Structure 1
Amino acid sequence: MLTSPVWWSCDEPSSDRWLIEVAKWFGARRAIGDDPLIMLVASSGGHLSHLLELKDFWGAHRRVWVSFDVPDVTSRLVDEEVTWAYRPTTRNLRNLVRNLGLAWSELRRLRPDLIVSTGAGVAVPFFWLGRLLGARTAYLEVYDRIDSATVTGRLVRRFTDAMWVQWPEQASLYPNAKVMGTIWPDSLDDAVVPANEVDECAGEVGAPGTVSSASGAPLIVVTVGTDFHSFDRLVAWAARWADDHATDARMVIQLGTARDPGGAAKRIDGALGSAELLALINEADAVVCGAGPGTVIDALRAGVRPVVVPRRGGLDEAVDDHQVAFAALLSERSMVRTATSEAELHAHLDQLLAQPGLFAVPPLTSGISPGAANLSRALEAMLT
């Protein structure tokens, strides 16, 4: 049986200590001998991708997920028990209140022993109330937040037993945070060449960096991910290039919430299921995306170095400019190419036409990283 953890260290204000007594009153646990229950809380996109990388841990335990009812999530959590939270959560007071009610109901009903999250805002009510009800909590800061703390991280820090970060640069953002290593590779040094060498793939349908249609036209996949912020800038830049190269290249644009620009490119409204998007990426000669870690890693695992256009907070494409810093870090490590202007994006795509296979790289391994292994061990220890 897991006992209610100590909430605060001795340097916390004494005025907060009344909460401990409330936690003890509410925090009745299930009977000794029952299998522990893990609650995994994450928004869609890269937040969910983080937790999926920890399957070595959660796959061995009873679990329930909390996330959003969108194609990206439903396609990846098939056959899993999921509680659907209200969205969007970013600076949305109404949905915070609704999710507080949902968290109270689900936490009282399920009584999880451990709550694990990578954000975003959906984690906040589950951590606040989870601690009140005696659950242990573990928060992992995301892979793509290098230079500033997330709002979610700041809001849950005092309500978590374990505050973990992935990069040494993140350690200064949170007092007492522990660096666990990155959940995904942090360079292309972790890439491997498939058993059939890359040179032997030339001409094969769907091989990275090769022509994947009888017409000889390379396939360019443009995806904006699952963020509720529209990314009209990237979509418009890509669509104009496609119009100028309608006979030279094929382009598929996943619009998300962006306006449909029309034109020669094939457009897919809204979000795609994970399997559909991965199928496109595996066929692609080029992947163009924002600086979201999930899509970047998916492209690298498919053997394609993506062209990244970072979202800008000042243009209402994201909550802030964290993608700018993250894209710069990945570019320094040669994991991506970056484009910060329409001319720069078009130049990258023009190069692809002149040099077929330009973006091909040895695919990243899909095995568990040292960081993910560290996290799995630490989470297992929290259940004992």
Structure 2
Amino acid sequence: MRPHGSGPHGVETHRLTTCGTAVSTDGTRQQVPEAGTAGRKRGSADPRIMPLRGCAASDGAGNEVCTATYLPQTAFVGPFWDWTIVTATLGALIAPGKRVLWVSSSGGHLAELKKIADLYPGPDTESTWVTFDTPQARSMLAGHNVRFISPVGTRDALGTLRTLVTAYRILRRGSFDYVVSTGAAVAVSFLPLASAMGVRALYVESLTRTHAASTTGRILGLFPAVRTYTQYERWANDRWKYAGSVLDNWEVRSRGDGTPVRNVLVSLGTIQPYRFDRAVDALKAILPDDCSVTWQLGATSRHDLPGAAHRELPWTEMGQLIREADAFVCHAGVGSVLQALDNGAVPVLAVRSAHNGEHVDDHQEYFAREILSRGLGRALDLSDSGDAVLEEAAGLEPHKSTGESSAKAFPAVPVLRGPNQLRSFRSRGPRRPGIVTQAPQRDEVSLDSMTAGGPKTVSGGGRSDG
């Protein structure tokens, strides 16, 4: 039975006036977001009350009449071409018992999508994964239904178009209820097509996009039927809903045993074709003489390294090596950070820089700031001796609470000034010099060093505008 005063689908309806008070059908009043506002408004008495439609009518007394919802749990409203999800967690985006097509590129995108998929317990025999054929993917998705497709490179327009044919064949034969992706470019091949074929399409932006959507996200934002989600409340808006983060509920504790560093694991990621020689050189200068070292180098092939060097390691083997290592050093990629936390290591982050030709852009810098602000990692100084950071990280361990407490609120990272400033998703015009509206100020977090004495000013790995 529906509760008294509830509308279709068990959604309680309210009349929302311009003064911000909702009058429910039982005569009670509740403070709700301002009329016409989409999404949760900061400071509202009940964050679960959210308008689903803009105010387009009047009750004759000068008040705009809107529809709002009071949702103790996820609600699906309307047919598939006009459906709406109002939710507070990544674990409530998909209705139970539905068949899902999980789509992503390899590396961090796949690791992130797997973390989201793991939020939905129960057998996954009817769902299918689409990704690239890599040792990581084969190891991580063992036991799942997987369709390996040809790799689509970063900002690879031609590869994205070619993959449309593959996407159509998979979608036509699959009878899926949802297609969910965390990117990268492969999401553009699947999600708009899926929505056109009547499948609910969800895109969750990567953790690395701390202030604005990626190129993939901006493209998908042009398709209204594709539902888009951000993992950072600081840039959520009408188009990009905030649904929590896979980093929520993590914290770091001291081991209290003064662990010596005798075994070091290094992972520079597997993205092609970007080398990361600065990180290798910095590590060679600070590694203890008597320590054992294992390297996952990706594109950074070297023949002057101590220990065992590998181009790429399977996901499960990497997890085992992380558990055995005293210190884990990795590039600031989502996959490496999530795997570190899951396997009991606080990662030491070596941050790639686009200025030095180490990545397509500087999203790793912004993601590293987020990790450091949460206290979930330490930073490797790529320009100076920082051997103490290995011992510091070795003495820490991550811990995740098992309760369903709400996500912690973290202050926004200050917006950059100058020609490389970050733009919000709402800003579609060219970059303009001058004053940039800044987020609330906070203590700066160092990307070059994290010592026991506290953070230092950001130098940004060769950039001066951070």
TM-score by length of 2: 0.61
Local SS of the residue matching 1:260: coil
The CA distance in 1 between the partners of 2:319 and 2:233, in whole Å, is 31
Output the aligned Cα RMSD. 2.9
Who is 2:259 aligned against? 210
Question: Is residue 303–residue 360 contact of structure 1 (8 Å, CA) maintained in 2?
Answer: no
One-letter identity of the residue aligned with 2:306: A
User: Quick one: distance in 1 between partners of 2:172 and 2:399?
Assistant: 42
Question: How far has the Cα of 1:259 moved from its partner?
Answer: 2.1
Q: What's the secondary structure of 2:399's corresponding residue? A: coil
Offset of 1:324 from its aligned partner?
0.8
Give the CA deviation at 1:300: 3.1
Asked if 1:307 corresponds to 2:371, the answer is no
Q: Answer yes or no: is the 8 Å Cα contact 1:144–1:322 preserved in 2.
A: yes
Distance, in Å, in 1 between the alignment partners of 2:158 and 2:233 is 36
CA contact (8 A) 1:239 1:263 kept: no
* Contact 1:163–1:176, Cα closer than 8 Å, also in 2: yes
Please tell me the residue identity of whatever aligns with 1:363. P
Q: Residue deviations 1:169-206, cap 9 Å, x none?
A: 2315xx43221111123652xx578xxxx45xx5xxxx
Q: Is the 8 A contact 2:263 2:293 kept in 1?
A: yes
CA distance in 1, matches of 2:335, 2:263: 20
Partner of residue 364, structure 2: 323
1:295 matched to 2:339? The reply is no
Give the equivalent residue in structure 1 for 2:139. Answer: 75
Aligned to 2:55: none
Could you say which residue in structure 2 is the equivalent of 1:52? 114
**What is aligned with 1:137?**
201
Structure with greater helix share of residues: 1
More moved, 286-295 vs 151-160: 151-160
Deviation, 1:3, is: 9.3
Please identify, of 281-290 and 81-90, the stretch whose mean Cα deviation from structure 2 is larger: 81-90
Contact in 1 for aligned 2:348/2:380 (Cα 8 Å): yes
Alignment TM-score, normalising by the size of structure 1: 0.73
User: Which residue matches 1:29?
Assistant: none
Deviation at 1:228, TM superposition (A): 2.0
The CA distance in 1 between the partners of 2:78 and 2:147, in whole Å, is: 25
Change in CA separation of 1:67 and 1:371 when aligned onto 2, cut-off 3 Å: farther
Higher alpha-carbon deviation: 323-332 or 119-128: 323-332
Change (3 A) 1:222 1:301: same
Distance 1:239 1:42, change over 3 A: same
Q: CA deviation at 1:91?
A: 1.8
Asked whether the equivalents of residues 378 and 393 of structure 2 are also in contact (C-alpha less than 8 Å), the reply is: no
Q: Select the residue among 199, 215, 218 that pairs with 1:154.
A: 218
CA shift in 2, pair 1:240/1:148, >3 Å:
same
Report the equivalent of 2:130.
66
Q: Kindly state the Cα deviation for residue 258 of structure 1 after the two structures are TM-superposed.
A: 1.3
Gaps of 5+ in 2: 1-76, 85-96, 408-466
Q: 1:357 Cα shift?
A: 6.2
Determine if contact 2:192/2:226 at 8 Å carries over to the other structure.
no
Q: Is it true that 1:183 corresponds to 2:183 in the alignment?
A: no
Q: Which moved more, 1:123-132 or 1:175-184?
A: 175-184
Given candidates 216, 230, 236, the residue that maps to 1:171 is 236
Paired with 1:148 and 1:264, the residues of 2 have a C-alpha distance of 40
Matched residues in 1 for 2:370 and 2:98: separation? 39
Q: What residue ranges of structure 1 are gaps of 5+ in the alignment?
A: 10-34, 203-208, 212-216, 373-384
Q: Report what 1:85 is aligned to.
A: 149
CA contact (8 A) 1:181 1:370 kept: no
Q: 1:61-93 CA deviation, whole Å, 9 max, x = no partner?
A: 520111110011110111211111221331223
Give CA deviations for 1:244-267 in whole Å, capped at 9, x if unaligned: 75x332221111111224232321
Q: Does the Cα contact within 8 Å between 1:239 and 1:264 map onto a contact in 2?
A: no
Q: CA separation in 2, counterparts of 1:368 and 1:125?
A: 37
1:313 partner SS = coil
Kindly indicate whether structure 1 or structure 2 has the higher relative contact order, using CA contacts under 8 Å at least 6 residues apart: 1
Moved more, 96-105 or 260-269: 260-269
Cα offset, 1:235, TM superposition: 4.8
The alpha-carbon deviation at position 120 of structure 1 amounts to 1.0
Q: Is the 8 A contact 1:223 1:254 kept in 2?
A: yes
2:397 is matched with which residue? 362
Tell me the CA shift for residue 332 of structure 1.
2.7
Match of 1:282 among 307, 319, 323: 323
In the alignment, the residues of structure 2 paired with residue 168 and residue 89 of structure 1 have an alpha-carbon distance, to the nearest angstrom, of 29
C-alpha displacement of 1:276: 0.8
Check 1:371–1:70 CA distance in 2 against 1; reply closer, same or farther (3 A cut): farther
SS in structure 2 of the partner of residue 123 of structure 1: helix
Q: What is the correspondence of 1:347-358 to structure 2 with a 5 Å cutoff?
A: 347=386, 349-350=387-388, 352=390, 356=391, 358=393
Cα distance in 1 between the residues matched to 2:295 and 2:129: 30
Q: Which has the higher strand share?
A: 2
Tell me: CA distance 1:320–1:109, structure 2 relative to 1, closer, same or farther (3 Å). Answer: same
Question: Across the two proteins, how many residue pairs are aligned to each other?
Answer: 316
Cα pair 1:222 1:288 within 8 Å, conserved: yes
Which residue does 1:258 correspond to in 2? 300
The equivalent residue for 2:10 is none
- Cross-structure match for 1:221: 265
Q: In the alignment, which residue of structure 2 is the partner of 1:214?
A: none
- Judged with a 3 Å threshold, the aligned counterparts in structure 2 of structure 1 residues 101 and 340 are, in CA distance, closer, same or farther, namely farther
Q: Give the alignment partner of residue 276 of structure 2, picking from 190, 211, 232.
A: 232
CA contact (8 A) 1:182 1:369 kept: no
* 1:168 alignment partner AA: E
For the residues of structure 1 that align with 2:403 and 2:113, how far apart are their CA atoms? 12
Structure showing greater radius of gyration is: 2
Q: Contact 2:101–2:176 (CA<8 Å) still a contact in 1?
A: yes
1:147 aligns to what SS in structure 2?
Answer: coil
Distance change >3 Å, CA 101–CA 87, structure 1 → 2: same
CA distance in 2, matches of 1:155, 1:368: 36
Cα distance in 1 for residues equivalent to 2:122 and 2:271: 27
Q: Give, in whole Å, the separation in 1 of the partners of 2:362 and 2:163.
A: 27
Post-superposition shift, 1:144?
2.1
